[in-house]
Chain A
Amino acid sequence: MPFEQLLQYIFSGITSGSIYAIVAIGFNIIYNTTGIINFAQGEFLMLGGMTAISLHSFMPLPLAILAAVIITSAVGALIDFIFIRRLKSPSVLNMVIVTIGLSIMIREIALHVWDEKVRSLPYFTGSEVTSINIMGAYISPQVLWVLGVSGVIVAFLGVFFRFTLTGRSMRACASNITAARLCGINTKNMVTISFMLSAAIGALAGCVISPITQTQYDCGTSLAIKGFTVAILGGLGNSTGAVIGGIIIGLLEAMSISIMPLAYKDAISIAILLIILFARPSGLLGKREAAGLKEF
């Protein structure tokens, strides 16, 4: 295979991989606080993208995205106040079921607020036809945006969870909720913050990928499934792992396309995921000891 072609496949892999990665990051925050998987994460993406698209007709793009992130974050807080906080027995299973219900509900509400049509934000730099030539292969500038934003989010989360009091309190909640409470951490508020943060990051991701993937009321689910796979591969709770996992899956898919029919793409990525999980059940960067402590 000539070098340009190989590079082109790699770029294509990075394009889809960057989308998987930025979706996967969102799963980690709520997981890090509550130990649950938020199945409505994909809907946060859709909500962020849709809100930004609607607002973009009134205001410039950066402002619309900012507003969309804030609004979605508020929705995240509202969801926690109404549904999660009031759970009489907030076991992992109960909360997971609630998020599944929420994802269906948000999707249906979005269908009524907007409609069934496909929309998208404009490309942040250039347009639909812009592409950057790197050593004979081409890539859309929007992919670089997605990668850049993922990098910034990962760095921010790393600092937040390691060095701020709030971040460390949130991690404490996930490790042992009773112990955290005994230490004087308001666990309920931490869960609220995690929902807000995760909604905000989901919304930002939804905006950045919107020019590539296009946004529709039901686009969240399929994105979330891939993102979830990637989050497990990278090691749940580990944002750097999510990015690495995303790029790996993306590259594997692109390489599989070069030698096999496209239809086998998903089968191959899932097969590889299974192999990795047999060898390393805690994911690529997940710690075995830490995973042992979690309920889920």
Chain B
Amino acid sequence: MSFKKILVVFVCLAFLAVAVSCKKKSGETIKIGAIFAVTGPASFLGAPEAKTAQMIIDEINSSGGVDGKSLELIIKDSTGSPEKAISFAKQLIEENKVFAIIGPSTSGETMKIKAICEDGKTILLSCAAAEDIVNPVAKYVFKTPQKDSYAAEKIFEVMKKKGITTIGVVASNDGFGLAGKKQLETIAPKFGITILIGEVYDKKATDLTGVLTKLKANNVQAVVNWSIVPAQSIVPKNMKQLNMNVPLFQSHGFGNIKYAREAGAAGEGIIFPCGRLLIVDTLPDNHPQKAVLAKYKKNYEGKYGEDVSTFGGHAYDAVMILVEAIKKAGADKEKVRDAIESLKGFAGTGGIFNFSVQDHNGLAIDSFDMLTVKGGKFVKYEDK
């Protein structure tokens, strides 16, 4: 037999093996698709999300699965690119015929696949923050992170107490940053706050002293940086290097201790709204989220040896909400969708979820706490 023939035989065998292994799995399993930005610029969102989703699915499967069926997780790495998210969403719906999709990690990607999931009648539980995802409500689209309008309101509440009236806003030039900037601009007048300058920067920006000089020249009383990219550690460093001593507020995208560490001494005193996952140790024992948060933090940090972040928490909530709904309604797409919509008082890492026909996010403004960085750690922000 010639080399070529052997090669052909091997290729055929390989295909056969794949086909057989595929066949064996389907039937008793519920397929769940996941689109996360595991690598790329939004990887600090997608990587913990993918790890979390995998961890919970494994836990559930080892304790007997849901509704007598085991779960199969198909994770696709979108690298944060909306184009890839679109093709993965189509692939998951049409080829893999998944039961539901968890993710994507970023708002830009989610907005692009919202209609695809709606047309494919597939439940989408997004882990991205922008309010546009659930407003207007799409029948099959839900999201687990808190709304960005709540984050903006929380920030303005603190500013009002501090007597701040003129601010500068910088935001990254991506779905999350632009949506956040829009919310800040809409809500600021309600709190009597004027945005003197609002600027967007490239999401790969490496130095922002130029735009911060502009803010400094306009004597803003505070700076708000709205992004999920590494610039979250560059802005505080640049501010200190420019000797800008006004308070820096960041969005809930800062809920990853790595960014605070990257910013080092410059990160001290940053104020930002965040879920309670990062301050679980300081919560009273009778807090309804305490048990969920403590368990997730312990399992995640024990398994992966890295700090837990709120983003992984969003994936945790998405998977658990789906599982809860399957438990209630059985493995039927339409019934599960209805079950999610009528889910009330569900304690997740992001807050207590109360879904309704109008509200596909289910979280209230009190799901946010204001945190600050003190001694390289996140602590609850106290008014002085």
Distance (Å) between the CB of A11 and the closest chain B CB? 7
- Known A115-B47, A139-B241, A140-B241: A216·B230 in contact at CB below 8 Å: yes
Decide yes or no whether A261 CB sits under 8 A from chain B. Answer: yes
Q: Report Cα–Cα, A212/B208, bound state, in Å.
A: 10
B41, B230, B242: the one within 8 Å of A131 (CB): B242
- Contact B206–A257 (Cβ < 8 Å): no
- Known A116-B38, A127-B264, A218-B41: A16·B217 in contact at CB below 8 Å: no
Q: Report Cα–Cα, A8/B217, bound state, in Å.
A: 10
Decide yes or no whether A129 CB sits under 8 A from chain B. Answer: yes
B255-277, CB < 8 A from A = 258-259, 262-267
**Closest A-chain residue to B211, C-beta based?**
A262
Q: Report Cα–Cα, A119/B262, bound state, in Å.
A: 7
For the residues of B in contact with A, the DSSP-based class is: helix
- Contact B39–A116 (Cβ < 8 Å): yes
- Known A214-B230, A263-B173: A258·B214 in contact at CB below 8 Å: yes
Residues of B within 8 A of A150 (CB): none
Q: Report Cα–Cα, A212/B263, bound state, in Å.
A: 10
- Contact A120–B213 (Cβ < 8 Å): no
- Contact A254–B241 (Cβ < 8 Å): no
- Known A15-B207, A128-B265, A263-B173: A9·B199 in contact at CB below 8 Å: no
Decide yes or no whether A244 CB sits under 8 A from chain B. Answer: no
A1-15, CB < 8 A from B = 1, 5, 8-9, 11-13, 15
Write out, one digit per residue, whether chain B residues 70-84 have a CB within 8 A of any chain A CB (1) or not (0).
000000000000000
Write out, one digit per residue, whether chain A residues 109-124 have a CB within 8 A of any chain B CB (1) or not (0).
0010001111110000
How many chain B residues have a CB neighbour from A under 8 Å?
40
Q: Report Cα–Cα, A130/B262, bound state, in Å.
A: 15
B194-233, CB < 8 A from A = 199-202, 204, 206-207, 209-211, 213-214, 216-217, 230, 233
Residues of B within 8 A of A89 (CB): none
Decide yes or no whether B123 CB sits under 8 A from chain A. Answer: no
Write out, one digit per residue, whether chain A residues 254-293 have a CB within 8 A of any chain B CB (1) or not (0).
1001100111011000000000000000000000000000
Decide yes or no whether A232 CB sits under 8 A from chain B. Answer: no
- Contact B240–A129 (Cβ < 8 Å): yes
Decide yes or no whether B143 CB sits under 8 A from chain A. Answer: no
Residues of A within 8 A of B265 (CB): 127-129
Q: Report Cα–Cα, A16/B205, bound state, in Å.
A: 10
B39, B40, B207, B262: the one within 8 Å of A120 (CB): B262
Decide yes or no whether A253 CB sits under 8 A from chain B. Answer: yes
Residues of A within 8 A of B259 (CB): 118
- Known A128-B263, A261-B199, A262-B199: A253·B210 in contact at CB below 8 Å: yes
Distance (Å) between the CB of A262 and the closest chain B CB? 4
Residues of B within 8 A of A111 (CB): 39
- Contact A11–B209 (Cβ < 8 Å): yes
Decide yes or no whether A133 CB sits under 8 A from chain B. Answer: yes
Residues of A within 8 A of B31 (CB): none
- Contact B44–A116 (Cβ < 8 Å): yes
Residues of A within 8 A of B217 (CB): 1, 5, 8, 258
Residues of B within 8 A of A54 (CB): none
- Contact A9–B210 (Cβ < 8 Å): yes
Distance (Å) between the CB of A229 and the closest chain B CB? 14
- Known A116-B38, A117-B44, A118-B230: A213·B206 in contact at CB below 8 Å: yes
- Contact B214–A214 (Cβ < 8 Å): no
Write out, one digit per residue, whether chain A residues 222-253 have a CB within 8 A of any chain B CB (1) or not (0).
11000000000000000000000000000001
- Contact B241–A214 (Cβ < 8 Å): no
- Known A129-B266, A138-B241, A263-B199: A8·B213 in contact at CB below 8 Å: yes
- Contact B237–A213 (Cβ < 8 Å): no
Residues of A within 8 A of B63 (CB): none
Q: Report Cα–Cα, A257/B206, bound state, in Å.
A: 15
Decide yes or no whether A22 CB sits under 8 A from chain B. Answer: no
Decide yes or no whether A19 CB sits under 8 A from chain B. Answer: yes
- Contact A212–B44 (Cβ < 8 Å): no
Residues of A within 8 A of B44 (CB): 116-118
Q: Report Cα–Cα, A194/B265, bound state, in Å.
A: 40
Decide yes or no whether B98 CB sits under 8 A from chain A. Answer: no
- Known A19-B206, A128-B264: A262·B200 in contact at CB below 8 Å: yes
Residues of B within 8 A of A258 (CB): 210, 213-214, 217
Binding site for A on B (CB under 8 A): 38-41, 43-44, 47, 170, 173, 199-202, 204, 206-207, 209-211, 213-214, 216-217, 230, 233-234, 236-237, 240-243, 258-259, 262-267
Binding site for B on A (CB under 8 A): 1, 5, 8-9, 11-13, 15-16, 19, 111, 115-120, 127-131, 133, 138-140, 209, 212-214, 216-219, 222-223, 253-254, 257-258, 261-263, 265-266
Smallest CB-CB A-B distances: 4 pairs: A116-B43, A213-B206, A128-B266, A12-B209
Can you give 28 A-B contacts (C-beta < 8 A)? A1-B217, A5-B217, A9-B210, A13-B210, A16-B207, A118-B258, A127-B266, A128-B237, A128-B266, A129-B240, A129-B265, A130-B241, A131-B243, A133-B243, A138-B241, A140-B241, A213-B206, A213-B207, A214-B233, A214-B234, A218-B40, A254-B210, A254-B213, A258-B210, A262-B200, A262-B210, A262-B211, A263-B199
